[in-house]
Chain A
């Protein structure tokens, strides 16, 4: 019950801020941070819960963005429909990738996800309809009442998406599905021998994860008023979506949220004050440091320091 109150408060807060006099830049940056909350949460459903490391977040994100563009260009579809379609297409992509490689060891799945980025990006580069290699400008629809600017509306949209993503992750985590995924992560061989339908659960996690990443990507074209392959399929999305849960903590839905908010904010600050390259370097270094020194992430550290209760799941 506390959870749902918290979610409602989050949405109300986001809406309230969007209707207030807050500086416009806050919504530009806030949108990106919330986007990472969705990406990190989505990644964690397969990576943290099941233990299958997805390097290809950028592919699912990018295809979500391009799906939105296609729907917008072909039918002038409203944002909600774009997001839904993006979720479906990226979900299918997740399902397909999983079907091909989830029967094999984890590292083959990971390499296959890199392959998916390449193939999707190459396909979009060669597709004139969406602008090909040089990309395409997009005209935003007129601003929606009661928000002052389109960016503010996108901010609230992303906040709602974040709440949806976290709710789905939490549901999976506490349900029998989550228990099965944890068994798979701990010892897939034993899980399979004790009744857990490992392939089906992995496919489920992979599909849901991909769908959420696509949904996050759908809002991107409208945010930028522009779409092009290199930035849509940027590897930064892959590294960030992986680093944030690793830093925040992978066994609980709160971990990716903490990682996304912290690392996302750091990224915004560094990109603006120093450079984009240093920002990316910082992400990489933090990832390696946490993976080596704090494997259970910030949540794990908090538990060790007894700031959080240790629960035996």
Chain B
């Protein structure tokens, strides 16, 4: 591969990687911090994409739509966690198996539901920044990638600051590390986790908007994103926000290079391959807790 092509792949990979990081950050909170076996996370993101698509048909800009959807998805997240907690976490014993089965079933229901409503064809949105490219010296970078990159950075930075600077944010981190201590301080761990899961889901709405900006979506997209998001979260180390960014970049650049060299059919396998390697060699990730 020529040096120019490699450089282009890397640049694209950085943009893609930041996007992957932002898309995984909801999972980083839900699974990394809260220990919820949330395999339905990518499915909810795809749901967000389709909601964005619907709003797009009414003339909404996708990113604006994504932001507008965040409060709705926040409530959805709170409801899901509440349900999960009442049905599984509270009862202990077989909760692990059943919790996993529940989220798997939920993901499936969302996917099939989307097929029933929208069909299996790909859906896209339109915006001023989709379809045009930015010329940077010798490279042409699609504007939609730049927008996604910008939103992703803002989202990741925002969430990181929230978790480390605000009171509720730090309570969320605390509940992840030492729940009994938190209880002793008078805080209600369940309400904190509920809030956190709500935020993780709200963020996922915006991730879904970015997803449909970056490319067309179809209902089965959640499957490959299970690989991507979990690869990022595992590689990052559970609960590490900065790690999520680093891991996202690693994934984005690897995928971009593979895409350029071997074609589109092998690119999705990169995430899963990376995931298996991470699990096999260093399961605690790069910045593990």
Judged by CB atoms under 8 Å, the answer to whether A and B touch is: yes
By a beta-carbon cutoff of 8 Å, the part of chain A in contact with chain B is 47, 51, 53, 55, 100-101, 104, 106-108, 110-112, 114-115, 118-119, 122, 125-126, 185-186, 235, 239, 242-243, 246, 250, 277-278, 280-281, 283-285, 287-288, 291-292, 295
Q: Are B108 and A107 interface neighbours, CB within 8 A? A: no
Known contacts A53-B100, A108-B283, A235-B108; A115/B265 CB under 8 A: no
CA distance A106 to B100 in the complex (A): 9
- Taking a contact as CB atoms closer than 8 A, the residue among A100, A111, A287, A295 that contacts B105 in the complex is A287
B39 CB within 8 Å of chain A: yes
By a beta-carbon cutoff of 8 Å, the part of chain B in contact with chain A is 31, 37, 39, 87, 93-94, 96-98, 100-102, 104-106, 108-109, 112-113, 115-116, 223-224, 226-227, 230, 234, 265-266, 268-269, 272-273, 275-276, 279-280, 283
CB distance from B268 to the nearest CB of A (A): 6
Q: Are A242 and B101 interface neighbours, CB within 8 A? A: yes
CA distance A291 to B83 in the complex (A): 12
CB distance from A123 to the nearest CB of B (A): 9
Q: Are A122 and B266 interface neighbours, CB within 8 A? A: yes
- Taking a contact as CB atoms closer than 8 A, the residue among A119, A235, A278 that contacts B116 in the complex is A278
CA distance A160 to B199 in the complex (A): 52
CA distance A272 to B52 in the complex (A): 34
CA distance A242 to B266 in the complex (A): 28
Q: Are B97 and A239 interface neighbours, CB within 8 A? A: no
CB distance from B98 to the nearest CB of A (A): 5
CA distance A269 to B265 in the complex (A): 35
Q: Are B105 and A112 interface neighbours, CB within 8 A? A: no
Chain A residues with CB under 8 Å of B112's CB are: 277, 280-281, 284
Chain A residues with CB under 8 Å of B265's CB are: 122, 125-126
Chain B residues with CB under 8 Å of A277's CB are: 112, 115-116
CA distance A64 to B224 in the complex (A): 23
Chain B residues with CB under 8 Å of A287's CB are: 101, 104-105, 108
CB distance from A3 to the nearest CB of B (A): 26
CA distance A69 to B106 in the complex (A): 34
Between A115, A235, A243, the greatest number of chain B beta carbons within 10 A of the residue's beta carbon is seen for: A115
Least CB separation from A100: chain B residue: B280
Q: Which 4 A-B pairs give the minimum distances between C-beta atoms?
A: A115-B272, A287-B105, A288-B105, A284-B108
Q: A115-B227, A115-B273, A277-B112 are in contact. List 5 more A-B contacts (CB 8 A).
A: A47-B97, A53-B97, A104-B279, A285-B109, A292-B98
CB distance from B173 to the nearest CB of A (A): 21
Tell me what chain A mostly uses at the interface: helix, strand, loop, or mixed: helix
Known contacts A280-B108, A280-B112; A115/B275 CB under 8 A: yes
Known contacts A55-B104, A104-B283; A291/B234 CB under 8 A: no
CA distance A95 to B113 in the complex (A): 35
Tell me what chain B mostly uses at the interface: helix, strand, loop, or mixed: helix
Q: Are B108 and A51 interface neighbours, CB within 8 A? A: no
Least CB separation from B102: chain A residue: A291
CB distance from B259 to the nearest CB of A (A): 14
- Taking a contact as CB atoms closer than 8 A, the residue among B96, B109, B279 that contacts A106 in the complex is B96
Q: Are B279 and A239 interface neighbours, CB within 8 A? A: no
Q: Are A288 and B276 interface neighbours, CB within 8 A? A: no
CA distance A242 to B104 in the complex (A): 10
- Taking a contact as CB atoms closer than 8 A, the residue among A47, A118, A278, A291 that contacts B227 in the complex is A118
Q: Are A112 and B101 interface neighbours, CB within 8 A? A: no
Q: Are A108 and B102 interface neighbours, CB within 8 A? A: no
CA distance A277 to B113 in the complex (A): 9
Chain B residues with CB under 8 Å of A292's CB are: 87, 98, 102
Chain A residues with CB under 8 Å of B31's CB are: 107
Q: Are A239 and B104 interface neighbours, CB within 8 A? A: yes
Chain A residues with CB under 8 Å of B226's CB are: 111, 114
Least CB separation from A236: chain B residue: B108
Q: Are A110 and B268 interface neighbours, CB within 8 A? A: no
CA distance A283 to B266 in the complex (A): 31
19 A-B pairs (CB sep. < 8 Å): A51-B94, A55-B104, A100-B279, A101-B276, A104-B279, A108-B279, A110-B100, A111-B226, A111-B234, A112-B276, A114-B223, A118-B272, A119-B272, A119-B273, A125-B265, A242-B104, A280-B108, A284-B108, A292-B98
Known contacts A235-B108, A281-B113, A284-B112; A53/B273 CB under 8 A: no
CB distance from A120 to the nearest CB of B (A): 10
Chain B residues with CB under 8 Å of A285's CB are: 105, 109
Chain A residues with CB under 8 Å of B106's CB are: 288
- Taking a contact as CB atoms closer than 8 A, the residue among A112, A119, A185, A291 that contacts B279 in the complex is A112
CB distance from B40 to the nearest CB of A (A): 11
Chain A residues with CB under 8 Å of B102's CB are: 288, 291-292
Least CB separation from A246: chain B residue: B101
Chain B residues with CB under 8 Å of A115's CB are: 227, 272-273, 275-276
CB distance from B229 to the nearest CB of A (A): 10
Least CB separation from A289: chain B residue: B105
CA distance A115 to B102 in the complex (A): 19
CA distance A107 to B101 in the complex (A): 10
Least CB separation from B267: chain A residue: A122
Chain A residues with CB under 8 Å of B272's CB are: 114-115, 118-119
Q: Are B101 and A53 interface neighbours, CB within 8 A? A: yes
Chain B residues with CB under 8 Å of A55's CB are: 39, 104
CB distance from A127 to the nearest CB of B (A): 12
Chain B residues with CB under 8 Å of A291's CB are: 98, 101-102, 105
Q: Are A119 and B104 interface neighbours, CB within 8 A? A: no
